[in-house]
C-alpha cells in the first residue's frame, strides 16, 4: 500500500497527529483567550455540534419517548454528578494519607468531577444496544448542566491546570 492510499485510508489519524504537532508548535492558539476561544467553542459549540450530529441519526419518536423516562434521567444525573464525585472524593481522602503525589490526587479529583465525555456515553450505549436516545439526552444535559465539573468540598468550578 502506497503512502497516498495509506493517507486516504487513515486520514482521521493523520489529522489527529497533525493537530497535535501544530499544538506543540504554537500552544497559544488553543489556550484560554487565544484565537480559537476554547472557553466558548469547545464548551458550547463543539458539544452542541456533537449532540446535533448524534440526534440526526435518531427518529423523532425515539427522542420524545426517551424524554419521558424521568426516573432514568434523575438516576443517571444523580449518579454521574453527585454519587460518583462524592465517592471519588471519599476515596481521595483515604489516598491523601499515603505518599502519593499531591498533584496526582488533584488530577484524579478533577477527572472524577467532570461529566462523562460527550461522545463516549453515546458510542458505548450504541455499541451494546442500549437506549441511545436516553444516552444522548443525559450526556447533553449533564454536559450543559455542569460544563466544568464540581467536586464536594470545592466552591469553585474546577479548571484544567496548564
- Looking at residue 50, its pLDDT comes to 74
Residues 148 and 69 in one domain: yes
Residue that wins the pLDDT comparison between 75 and 62: 75
**Is residue 66, in this structure, part of any structural domain at all?**
yes
- Looking at residue 66, its pLDDT comes to 80
What are 68's three cell numbers? 419521558
Q: Which helix (H) or strand (E) holds 106?
A: helix 102-112
Mean pLDDT (whole number) for 11-37: 89
What domain count does the chain have? 2
**Is residue 53, in this structure, part of any structural domain at all?**
no
This prediction's pTM: 0.57
**Is residue 50, in this structure, part of any structural domain at all?**
no
**Is residue 42, in this structure, part of any structural domain at all?**
no
Dump pLDDT digits (tens) for 64-88: 888 888 898 899 888 888 898 899 9
Q: What CA–CA distance (Å, rounded) separates 58 from 24? A: 38
Model confidence at 25, in pLDDT bands (50, 70, 90)? very high
56, with CB counted inside 10 A (0-12, 13-18, 19+), is: exposed
Q: Which domain holds residue 117?
A: 60-161
Q: What CA–CA distance (Å, rounded) separates 14 from 39? A: 26
Dump pLDDT digits (tens) for 27-58: 888 888 888 888 888 777 877 787 777 777 77
Q: Cβ neighbours of residue 28 under 8 Å, at least 6 residues apart?
A: 34
Dump pLDDT digits (tens) for 124-145: 888 888 888 888 888 778 777 7
Q: What CA–CA distance (Å, rounded) separates 79 from 88? A: 12
CA 70 to chain centre: 22
**Is residue 123, in this structure, part of any structural domain at all?**
yes
Model confidence at 156, in pLDDT bands (50, 70, 90)? very low
Residues 90 and 145 in one domain: yes
Nearest to residue 38, comparing CAs of 51, 53, 25, 23?
23
Amino acid at each position: 500500500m502506497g503512502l497516498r492510499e495509506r493517507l486516504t485510508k487513515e486520514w482521521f489519524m493523520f489529522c489527529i497527529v497533525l493537530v497535535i504537532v501544530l499544538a506543540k508548535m504554537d500552544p497559544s492558539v488553543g489556550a484560554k483567550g487565544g484565537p480559537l476561544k476554547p472557553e466558548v467553542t469547545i464548551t458550547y459549540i463543539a458539544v452542541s455540534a456533537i449532540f446535533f450530529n448524534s440526534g440526526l441519526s435518531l427518529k423523532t419518536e425515539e427522542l420524545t419517548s426517551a424524554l419521558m423516562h424521568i426516573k432514568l434521567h434523575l438516576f443517571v444525573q444523580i449518579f454521574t454528578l453527585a454519587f460518583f464525585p462524592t465517592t471519588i472524593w471519599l476515596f481521595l481522602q483515604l489516598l491523601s494519607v499515603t505518599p502519593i503525589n499531591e498533584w496526582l490526587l488533584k488530577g484524579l479529583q478533577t477527572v472524577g468531577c467532570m461529566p462523562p465525555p460527550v461522545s463516549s456515553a453515546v458510542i458505548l450505549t450504541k455499541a451494546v444496544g442500549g437506549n441511545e436516545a436516553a444516552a444522548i439526552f443525559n450526556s447533553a444535559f449533564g454536559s450543559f448542566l455542569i460544563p466544568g465539573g464540581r467536586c464536594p468540598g470545592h466552591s469553585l468550578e474546577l479548571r484544567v491546570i496548564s
